[in-house]
Chains A and B, each alone.
Chain A
Amino acid sequence: MVAIRENWRVILLVVFLLISVFALFSPTLGPDDPGSGDDVAAQGSVTNLQYGLELSGGTRVRAPLVGVTAEGVDFGGTDRRVVEQEVAAEIDGAGPADVIARFGGRPAGGQDTAQPQPGSETSDTVEVTAEGLTTDELAAALNAAGYGYETTREGVTETTRQEVVRILENKINEAGLSGGTVQEVTTAQGDNFVLVEAPNQDASSVRQLVSERGTVVIEAYYPANDGNYTRDTVLQQEDFQSIGTAQDGSGGPYVPVTVSESVAPEFQQSMRDSGLAQQGGTRCTYQVDPSSTEPCLLLVVNGEVTNAFGMSPGLAENLRTGGWADSPVFQLQTTNVSEAQEVSINLRAGALPAQLDFSEESGGTTSFISPSQGSDFRTNSLITGIIAVLAVSATVFVRYRDIKVAAPMVVTALSEVVILLGFAAGIGYPLDLSVIAGFIAVIGTGVDDLIIIADEVMAEGKINSRRVFQSRFRKAFWVIGAAAATTIIAMSPLAILSLGDLQGFAIFTILGVVVGVLITRPAYGDILRSLTTIDR
């Protein structure tokens, strides 16, 4: 019992080490399944450590959203959709999909006539997310449409940002980019960005996936009574009840879809009216000559016609007799498989209310690290770290010429890193180069402190009683505590301010100092005492 009481610091260190090793290697604590929006990719390695982009490879994109916002808009009781259409009509190059009117910062039902509250976040807003629109142009458009407003500004509303984040998350999951994440970040200057991280993906494919608005509509294309062709939107994103995965059938690639029951009769009717559901179906020659084709269905993705197809005789028959509406399924045909996949992803994830701004002056950042570079960095930074530790060990051995002093010193310093790694594995914090820099700082200050303890404890020959040891140890601890406090103070601003790139460094340096001062460095004192004290 005496042994436990005297060596409780060492026992505490061993307990922490065991917990860390458990967190590092136990398969029961492995990373969650990657589809759950987990922070990083699960690595196929023996440890539970997770690596950030710099060490695993992948793409990180940070970009603001395109858009301008008018706040405190006086809708005067007009329906939201009507406001959107009227404002859109006043702006060149903006359709109703580019204008979002919100009551009290939320998309409300049309009957909501909440009073605008000046200056508060819940004021009524109009956002226009078309590209290249200035705040002055929005102001002019609102004036022309006859709506009063308080201010206009760059950027979009919080609600829109959250919607974008949610839809992008869906898109990334649908596209099978496992471990990809989407976050909203705010810089210290108050600028808002959307941060997308996708492990193991190259920059262009990620940018392509997230930069498109992802609108998908089905239009009917048919000759009207006067002989000119008309285009009518017959199905929109929200009209589908379920969307299948892209298939490559004998008749070419397609996406099987089910139209929701409420829209199905309407769709059936418009197919009959437009002549698409005529006897024997239609043969579409839109791609050859749009002005002389039989009626077509157009697949319009991001405002562009990507495919045109006719109606099979069987489906036309079904639509005419009205039997189709009872099981409203059909196939969206595409020209190639990747297009089918894109349509399927866009339909499932939904359309983005605003687009990410990748222009050079937008204030965004992009970084791509190839997976081979990432794994090189992983191995090489480990080797670098080991070499640095060996250098420390060699210096300490040369200085003290006593293995009883130097060996526990190196072991103690390393155990701090093991505890930190265990912590990182336990909470799933992704390791990046900045975190590794933090480990180096911890080893550095750790060895400094251990040298202080060793010199203090061994000053003037052998220690021959516990009391002498205790008093010397306490003296050494004052210096260590003071130095630790300054390091923590110095690092805390970076740990708190969320900019990401140096945050990991600051957090792990602070953690390391705390673990060092409370657990590992006192334990070193005990180890040194039991090795050097003559009379216990």
Chain B
Amino acid sequence: MIEFTVPEVDYTRYTNRQLAAIPLAVLAVAILIIAGWFVMTGVPVNQGIAFTGGTEVQVAIDGPEAAAEEEIRTAFDAEPESIRSVPAQSVYVITFQSGGAAELEQQADAAGLDVRSISSVSASFGADTQTLALGGLGVAFLGMSLLVFAMFRVFVPSIAVVISAFSDIVVPLALMNLLGIELSLGTVAALLMLIGYSVDSDILLNNHILRRSGDFYESTDRAMRTGVTMTLTSITAMIVMTIAATVFGIQLLAAIGTVLVFGLVTDLMNTYMLNLSLLRWYKFRGVAR
């Protein structure tokens, strides 16, 4: 039988500096990756066609993959930007940087391909979507920060929540770059969800430590037992969902799942190392440790 009990961590063995160092280092590396990406490619994150404009065609072809790719390349006049296959569905996802949906549809029909879907976004519309998505993300983050400050009314615990939430978004973004996942409407949705998930466990921890009577480590322990259960449950659900959605070729759900798994794992680290060390420092200010 699988054992699932939240481990009790003996925090007294580590200093605040030691605890905070790891998440801060991870955050710094993530920011470096994004900055480096920006220097190399001109954009902080790889963007999908919803933001850059372009056309995505999905066709169903039976048979071996190499032959299918060959068939795809001969069918279209324009050079595909990428061809991906969806396992278990014999569906191929082809993206084009340019080319109208009408021409591509004609070419696919002429070649006798079974077109499953076509979606085409013009560059200027993509740019509008990008502004909106980034604006939405920014406003959401700002709103969350203001609300957190309004709820706790003390600086250090509030900023701890905000920093962890920031890191929970930035680290998955850097991982997306490394793993070649493009920013799409689905991943933006996932990043927004992360704001919600991230503050859940942070608020829980802050609440237990600041608003309840009892020893610091006892409160931490109780908050961790609940918080880690929450996050692990979500991670399990998201891993399962990502696998299922990938097999079925539902890209939107797979993208959301992947980004959420990254973010939730980052959140575990940030909440119980970064946020916790800041809270301990706040609680025992001036006490040498």
Contact = CB atoms under 8 A, between A and B. Distances in A.
Q: Do A and B come from one complex?
A: yes
Contacts of A367: 101, 117-120
B252 A434 contact: yes
B250 A361 contact: no
B26 interface: no
B105 interface: yes
Contacts of B116: 369-370, 372-373
A300 interface: no
A73 interface: no
Contacts of A373: 58, 116-117
Interface in A411-458: 433-434, 436-437, 440-441, 443-445, 447-448, 451-452, 455-456
A486 interface: yes
B196 A440 contact: no
Contacts of A387: 240-241, 244
A207 B124 CA distance: 20
A456 B252 CA distance: 35
A187 interface: yes
Contacts of B105: 202-204, 368
B64 to A, nearest CB: 22
B200 A388 contact: no
A486 B250 contact: no
Given A204-B106, A367-B119, A367-B120, A490 B248 contact: no
A3 interface: no
Contacts of A62: 125
Contacts of B98: 360
A5 interface: no
B119 to A, nearest CB: 4
The dominant DSSP class at the B interface is helix
B262 interface: no
B90 interface: no
A422 to B, nearest CB: 22
Given A363-B125, A395-B237, A486-B147, A452 B204 contact: yes
A485 B260 CA distance: 20
Contacts of B143: 486, 489-490, 492-493
A292 interface: no
B253 interface: yes
A189 B193 CA distance: 25
**Size category of the binding interface on chain B:** 35 or more
Interface in B164-214: 185-186, 188-189, 192-193, 195-197, 199-200, 203-204, 207, 211-212
Contacts of A530: none
B62 to A, nearest CB: 14
Contacts of B119: 365-369
A192 to B, nearest CB: 12
B248 A383 contact: yes
B252 A437 contact: yes
A203 B102 CA distance: 8
Interface in A358-394: 358-370, 372-373, 376-377, 380-381, 383-385, 387-392, 394
B47 interface: no
A437 B117 contact: no
Interface of A: 62, 187-189, 191, 202-204, 207, 358-370, 372-373, 376-377, 380-381, 383-385, 387-392, 394-396, 398-399, 433-434, 436-437, 440-441, 443-445, 447-448, 451-452, 455-456, 459, 475, 478-479, 482-483, 485-487, 489-494, 497, 499, 501-502, 505-506, 509
30 contacts: A202-B105, A203-B102, A362-B122, A364-B125, A365-B122, A368-B101, A370-B117, A373-B116, A376-B248, A381-B245, A383-B248, A384-B253, A387-B241, A391-B240, A398-B2, A399-B4, A434-B185, A436-B253, A441-B193, A445-B200, A482-B203, A483-B203, A486-B144, A486-B199, A490-B144, A490-B195, A497-B136, A499-B129, A499-B132, A501-B50
- 7 tightest Cβ-Cβ pairs between the two chains A and B: A367-B119, A380-B248, A487-B196, A489-B143, A490-B140, A391-B240, A455-B226
